Amino acid sequence: MSKRSLLGILGSPFPVEMFATARNYKLLSVAFGQFKTMKQLMSVDRDGNPIPWYTYPATEYLKQLDFGSKAVFEYGSGNSSIFWSRRCKQLVSVENDAAWFNKMKGRLPNNAEYLFFAEREQYVQSIAQYPYDFDVIIIDGAHRYQSATQALTKLKDNGFMILDNSDWMEKTSGLLRNAGL
């Protein structure tokens, strides 16, 4: 008789929920790299590669797509900037926190243009200086509603937008939904 069937007959001293929790912990902490992320306080995968601080399913989905010929604009920077710059043709990332900007600026590859604007209006309007539209626009920084409003004017017809923490940003989420996104 197998151990599993014996436990089924005799019962386990541990509730099923504990096994499910342990399996979930192993999946998130080891397979996806959450333990390394918490240790470094920077979002990384299980191999230590920089990833966006999005949900793991969202990141896994994005990893499957080909952005090799795409232009990406990002409000807010971090490991997501490294992740995107490794996958796209061109990344423009704008930051409004001077200390964070200085921490990240040496870490980005040549296809990344990294901009700093402390002033709200300059930060929000920074996307308007480009004569072309973007394939992907990520809103993961400050002034999200104003940034999303401006970004809508610079998104290609077949492009898409990522609003990180959309569950916290009801007004911004509503704006994007009403725009058909």
pLDDT for residue 40: 78
pLDDT for residue 29: 74
pLDDT per position as a tens digit, 88-132 = 999 999 999 999 999 999 999 999 999 999 999 999 999 999 999
Specify the long-range contacts of residues 47-51, CB closer than 8 Å, at least 24 apart. 49/83, 50/79, 50/80, 50/82, 50/83, 51/79, 51/80, 51/83
pLDDT for residue 24: 73
- Are the CB atoms for 66 and 89 separated by under 8 Å? no
pLDDT per position as a tens digit, 129-161 = 999 999 999 999 889 999 999 999 999 999 999
Query: How high is the mean pLDDT of the chain?
Result: 88
pLDDT for residue 28: 74
pLDDT for residue 71: 98
39 pLDDT tier (thresholds 50, 70, 90): confident
